[in-house]
Amino acid sequence: MTMNIPFGKLLVSMTTCHSLTHIKEELTGDPLDVKMFEATKWILEEPSQEESSNFDILMPTLVKPPPSKDQE
């Protein structure tokens, strides 16, 4: 099932209100959060160990929209 969710408050809340992480390259967390996030087709980007070990600061997890058709 393919779903295009228009940009707005619903999409933003579906991509940001969660507690998801990658474990062994698999999106993991609350099953409902995982399904909602997967439906948005957005990208969850976490810093690699190499990036986070270079500093004594926390590196944020980024959530960004999928590449547009122009960028593919």
DSSP 8: S
C-alpha span between 23 and 9 (Å, rounded): 28
Q: Tell me: the pLDDT tens digits for 35-56?
A: 988 888 888 888 776 655 556 6
DSSP, collapsed to helix, strand or coil, labels residue 57 as: coil
Extract the tokens encoding 58. 């926390």
- Residue 64 clears pLDDT 60, i.e. is over it: yes
Angle at 23 (CA atoms; ends 8, 31), nearest 5 degrees: 50
pLDDT band at 1 (very low <50, low <70, confident <90, very high): very low
Higher pLDDT, residue 52 or 19:
19
Residue at token pair 């926390």: 58
CB 15 within 8 A of CB 42: yes
